[in-house]
Amino acid sequence: MPEHIQEAVATANENSHAFLYSKPQLECRKNTSTTIPDYLESVYYWSYLNPRNVNWLDREWIVKFILWWQHAKLRKAAFNEIQPGNKVAQTAAVYGIFSPALAGHIGSKGQLSICDVAPVQVEITQKKLAEHLNTQVHLADAADYQIDSDTQVILSYFLLHEVPDTYKQKILDNLLNQLPSGAKLVLVDYHKPHWAHPLKPLMNMIFTTLEPFAKSFWRSEIRDFSQLQAAFNWQKTTFFGGMYQKVVVTRK
């Protein structure tokens, strides 16, 4: 066989082997119209957009520390609303191993789609989920993210406290508008702690200096930020002396 044909056959065999045995690349749909909101640039650049800080903060022990070692309990509370095999839409990237753990929880028969408005967050989430073939990552804003009609659970894990009140409404109404019949929206976030909670003064200081949109949940219920609240059932559970909450939303 001529040498150039041998080389062509060898190359074809190599490519076929790679196609058959290599893992598919994680999908990342980029919406070219997506822009980073002003509040994210001005308030959270240091923690969510600065690549050096993002790489440092993306550690499980830091998430546990920030959430006063309640992260495992809160993650379990969220996962209790999700069954293996479910199709799940997660509305923002989460630091640490949250998303890989969720992909493992739903198993190979489930599907996990994650959106985030920041390219750097999409990139690190891609890397963390590279071994999970049941996942997709999208560059998109939760305020206009398109949810698949067969989604069974929409999950927001500590997203809403980071956005201004007007954005809270946009995100909630967008998700509720698309919530399929029989599906649920699961929201885990901050909540007003008991008046005697020993950490309340410290959290007040943290919110004042670092999380300026979080204290809205000390004054209002999550449902109050939606214009569609009357059409849905809202079931709330609180944790850690009222500091955190899980709200499960279903259509009436």
The label of the residue with tokens 């044909």 reads 5
Average pLDDT over residues 33-52: 93
If one looks up domain 26-251 in CATH, what number appears?
3.40.50.150
List the beta bridge partners of residue 187. Answer: 156, 247
Contact 171, 160 (CB under 8 A): yes
Q: What is the DSSP letter of 24?
A: P
* pLDDT value of residue 33: 58
Q: What is the DSSP letter of 59?
A: -
Cα R_g (the chain), whole angstroms: 21
pTM score over 0.75: yes
Alpha-helix residue ranges (DSSP H) falling in 179-240: 200-209, 216-219
Alpha-helix residue ranges (DSSP H) falling in 114-184: 119-128, 165-178
The label of the residue with tokens 């990552």 reads 137
Distance between CA atoms of residues 13 and 62, nearest Å: 46
Question: Which tokens go with 14?
Answer: 């190599």
- The contacts found for 231-240 with CB under 8 angstroms, 24 or more apart, are 231/176, 232/176, 232/179, 237/77, 238/191, 239/70, 239/73, 239/74, 239/77, 240/68, 240/70, 240/73, 240/193
Q: Which residue has the higher pLDDT, 70 or 7?
A: 70
Q: Mind listing the pLDDT tens digit for each residue in 150-169?
A: 999 999 999 999 999 999 99
Domains of the chain, residue spans: 26-251
Q: Which residue has the higher pLDDT, 139 or 13?
A: 139
H/E element, 60: helix 60-66
Q: Mind listing the pLDDT tens digit for each residue in 96-126?
A: 999 999 999 999 999 999 999 999 999 999 9
How much of the chain is helix, strand and coil, in % rounded to 5? 45, 20, 40
Average pLDDT over residues 9-36: 45
* pLDDT value of residue 24: 37
Distance between CA atoms of residues 174 and 144, nearest Å: 6
Closest C-alpha to 224, from 172, 178, 183, 153: 172
Contact 222, 187 (CB under 8 A): yes
* pLDDT value of residue 165: 98
Q: Mind listing the pLDDT tens digit for each residue in 172-221?
A: 999 999 999 999 999 999 999 999 999 999 999 999 999 999 999 999 99
Task: Give yes or no for residue 27 having a pLDDT over 50.
Answer: no
* pLDDT value of residue 34: 77
